[in-house]
Amino acid sequence: MIQLHEINKVYRTKTIETLALQNINLSVKKGEFISVMGPSGSGKSTLLNILGLLDVPNAGKVTIDNTLIANKNDKELAKFRNQKIGFVFQSYHLINDLSVLDNVEIPLLYRNATSRERKKLASEALDKVGLSMRKDHFPTQLSGGQSQRVAIARAIVGTPEIILADEPTGNLDSTMGAEIMDILLNLQKHENTTIVMVTHDEKQAEKSERIIRLFDGRQVN
Amino acid sequence: MLQNYLKMAWKVLLRRKLFTFISLFGISFTIFILMVAISYLDSMISPKGPEGKQNRILHTGNIIVRNGQSMRSSSSSYYFMNKYALTLKTPELVSVFSEGRYYTYKNNKKFFFNYRCADQNFWRIFDFDFINGKPYGQRECDNSDRVAVISKSTAENYFGTTNAVGMEIDFRGKMFKVIGVVSDVPEANDHTYSDLWIPISFTENYSKTESYFGGCNAAMLAYSADDLMKIKQEFHKQLKTALASMPGGTDKSTLKCVLKTRLELLAKDLLSEYDDFNADPESTKNDVFVEPGGVSSTVKAMSIISGIMFLFMLLPALNLININLSRIMERSSEIGVRKAFGASRNALVKQFIVENLALTFIGGAISLILTLIAFSIINKSGLIVNTELTLNFNVFIISIMVCVIFGFIAGVFPAYKMSKLNPVESLRGGE
């Protein structure tokens, strides 16, 4: 499903050059659930951003679903992200001005979906995460766990094949964190969704099928 | 999608009320001023009242005579107009008229009146609205009958009624019988505006011959707008004849007469184009000039007006650009999320422009209300005599265009900047 070949990523400022990723090779099968672990600054989020086509490597090849992601223009990348990838962020990144339902609809806005279709699919996605009764609420009226469930509903509403989760339980207590993990595991099990999750939590990482460890931008296992 | 953009625009407006107030104030005030200005210009260019056929009417301005180093510029005499304008064959009708101002007393009350001495064709070229009575004809002009047409306001003020037909009004110590009462003429109709109209035979120096200078002007009605140039050409020939027999003329004399449509005259005034046509020494040869079609000066004048309007819009637009740019960071998380979930740069640019247009149209709606209030105040105050500023179709369409242009100016650059944001940085900034 996902292949990374000799990925390098360097961040440059006027005075300093930081090697964020070095010679990363990674292959993720369809329906696989992998965790990416490592200390802060080890390159976990950079790796996730490259997988999510939000950032581009300085060297190396990214292949997703047998498509080489190189020289794709902004429009093509946007379409690819929209159809193949769903994101879950540590701090949820819900838009506070929009209702829960409107937030979940966002990925569908960039497809040719009618308003009725969008509402139907968003309601179904909220059903899956057990939040259909909160669809007219606003993010500020939700708890952390509920916000993250809305974020997951937003990530899965367009039925993407890949979900990239950046510390999805990082801001939650253990009970809520466990709930979120269950949802992600269910998605993998029942929808055959490929999941790549960045986490600091060893226990939760152990629930995934494979753990990738990074240190100073290098893969260490 | 559009519904979602508009919903987002509304939420953003409510998010920072002070910013929204500043933006809306700038937009609505600018559009308000522009709408009033456009309406005023519209009332100047196509005034309500008798001068409705303006695209078919040519007006004479001053005649300018140069004899060597001396130059004289003035309106022409009835003698000149009678000989060289009233004899034109190309126009459907030619009317000669003069204007002035006098005062009179009635019951110890002083009245100031504008008057116009006009011939019988005046009533056929211009579309006066007769409330009572009728205009005078050729017979009254030829016989110098003491008859007058007065405006509604004159009738009300002087006689206390609009039903003034048959009553007598004083004109410079002589009593004139009122034979017609017309609706008030807006001041913008500067070729017809008056309080009282009497036969042309009462114009000063009516029977004086030879001098080309006097207080008269002429209006020439063409059969169609296409004939305007033909009239100018024929009048040019007439001027050659006039120059040949000009009193005091020499072989170095020149004679020029302004002959333009209302719009051309306005453009000439706006551009301060003076009647000095003899900067070139070569042109001091015996020759005549009719000012050519004012197309270029009209286009130039319209360009200048549009330019001023654009500059006037630019300042608040720059302010809005500034506010929008400062709000980009506030929305960075949203931009990052939208990009992550499939928004292309184009989609974000579209969203932001729609949001700006929505803001501008709200400003436009506020300005519409302000404009209507201003119109009501201006019209009631009589600041512009007899003129009623109205929000007609032209003004409305131009105002909508102004809104759209404003929205684009203020929206495109911030939208472009916003769409260029790196999604990773955006998401980091939004945390």
Pairwise CB contact (< 8 Å): A93 & B345: no
Q: How many C-beta atoms lie closer than 10 Å to residue A193's C-beta?
A: 22
Which residue range(s) make up the domain with A116?
30-42+73-219
Whether residue B431 is predicted with pLDDT greater than 50 in this model: the reply is no
Residues of A within 8 A of B340 (CB-CB) are: 52, 54, 81, 87
Look-up: residue for tokens 């034109």?
B88
**How far is B66 from B59, CA to CA, in rounded Å?**
22
Residues of A within 8 A of B418 (CB-CB) are: none
**How far is B333 from A94, CA to CA, in rounded Å?**
8
Number of domains in chain A: 1
Q: What is the pLDDT of residues B161-205, one digit of tens each?
A: 989 999 999 999 999 999 999 999 988 788 999 999 999 999 887
**How far is B195 from B172, CA to CA, in rounded Å?**
14
Phi, psi of B321 (to 5 degrees): -60, -45
Show me where the domains of chain B are located: 2-48+297-429, 69-249
Confidence of residue B222 (pLDDT cuts 50, 70, 90): very high
Please, which residues 84-103 of chain A have a Cβ atom closer than 8 Å to chain B?
A: 86-87, 89, 91, 93, 95, 97-98, 102
Residue among B342, B345, B431 minimizing CB distance to A107: B342
- Integer distance in angstroms from the first to the last C-alpha of chain B? 26
For residue B331, give the chain A residue with the closest CA.
A95
pLDDT at B281: 40
More confident residue, B150 or B323: B150
Which residues face B94 on adjacent strands? B220
- Residue A67 touches chain B, beta carbons under 8 Å: no
Residue among A81, A89, A105 minimizing CB distance to B342: A81
Pairing of strands B168-171, B130-133: unpaired
CA distance to partner chain A, nearest, from residue B358 (Å): 17
Pairwise CB contact (< 8 Å): B337 & A106: yes
Whether residue B280 is predicted with pLDDT greater than 50 in this model: the reply is no
CA distance to partner chain A, nearest, from residue B49 (Å): 52
Residue among A52, A110, A158 minimizing CB distance to B343: A110
pLDDT at B260: 85
Q: What is the pLDDT of residues A135-191, one digit of tens each?
A: 999 999 999 889 998 999 999 999 899 999 998 888 888 888 888 888 889 889 998
Residues of A within 8 A of B422 (CB-CB) are: 55
Pairwise CB contact (< 8 Å): B4 & A105: yes
pLDDT at A107: 94
A55 part of a folded domain:
no
What is the strand order of the sheet A162-166 is part of? A85-88, A162-166, A194-198, A33-37, A210-215, A218-219
**How far is A44 from A63, CA to CA, in rounded Å?**
18
- Integer distance in angstroms from the first to the last C-alpha of chain A? 21
Element (H or E) spanning B64, and its range? strand B57-67
CA distance to partner chain B, nearest, from residue A91 (Å): 7
Pairwise CB contact (< 8 Å): A105 & B7: no
The proportion of chain A whose per-residue pLDDT surpasses 70, expressed as a percent, equals 100
Residues of A within 8 A of B344 (CB-CB) are: 74-75, 78-79, 110
- Residue B71 touches chain A, beta carbons under 8 Å: no
pLDDT at A122: 95
What is the strand order of the sheet A2-12 is part of? A17-28, A2-12, A59-64, A67-68
A20 part of a folded domain:
no
| Degrees, nearest 5: CA angle A79-A51-B351 | 35
Pairwise CB contact (< 8 Å): B340 & A110: no
Residues of A within 8 A of B426 (CB-CB) are: none
Pairwise CB contact (< 8 Å): A54 & B423: yes
Under the phi-then-psi rule, with left for phi > 0, alpha for psi from -120 to 50, and beta for the rest, what region is A66?
A: left
Pairwise CB contact (< 8 Å): B337 & A98: no
CA distance to partner chain B, nearest, from residue A188 (Å): 20
Helix residue spans in B46-170 (DSSP H) = 78-84, 122-125, 138-143, 152-154
The H helix count followed by the E strand count for chain A is 7, 10
Residue among A75, A106, A111 minimizing CB distance to B344: A75
**How far is B346 from B343, CA to CA, in rounded Å?**
8
DSSP, res B133: E
Residues of A within 8 A of B420 (CB-CB) are: none
How large is the average pLDDT for residues B388-398?
73
A4 part of a folded domain:
no
pLDDT at B409: 77
Is A184 within 8 Å of A117 (Cβ atoms)? no
Residue among A55, A82, A98 minimizing CB distance to B341: A82
For residue B14, give the chain A residue with the closest CA.
A97
The proportion of chain B whose per-residue pLDDT surpasses 70, expressed as a percent, equals 90
Is B75 within 8 Å of B85 (Cβ atoms)? no
Q: Whole-model pTM?
A: 0.65
Is B395 within 8 Å of B38 (Cβ atoms)? yes
The rounded mean pLDDT for chain A is 90
Pairwise CB contact (< 8 Å): A78 & B347: yes
pLDDT at B274: 53
Residue among A98, A102, A107 minimizing CB distance to B341: A107
Q: What is the pLDDT of residues A11-50, one digit of tens each?
A: 888 888 888 999 999 999 999 999 999 998 899 989 999 9
For residue A140, the domain's CATH number is 3.40.50.300
A151 part of a folded domain:
yes
Pairwise CB contact (< 8 Å): A106 & B12: no
Q: Where are the beta strands (DSSP E) in chain A?
A: 2-12, 17-28, 33-37, 59-64, 67-68, 85-88, 162-166, 194-198, 210-215, 218-219
Residues of A within 8 A of B423 (CB-CB) are: 54
Pairwise CB contact (< 8 Å): A81 & B340: yes
Whether residue B273 is predicted with pLDDT greater than 70 in this model: the reply is no
Pairwise CB contact (< 8 Å): A75 & B346: yes
Pairwise CB contact (< 8 Å): B344 & A79: yes
A161 part of a folded domain:
yes
- Residue A115 touches chain B, beta carbons under 8 Å: yes
A87 part of a folded domain:
yes
When mean pLDDT is compared across A106-120, A140-154, B308-322, the lowest value belongs to B308-322
Whether residue B310 is predicted with pLDDT greater than 80 in this model: the reply is no
Whether residue B301 is predicted with pLDDT greater than 80 in this model: the reply is no
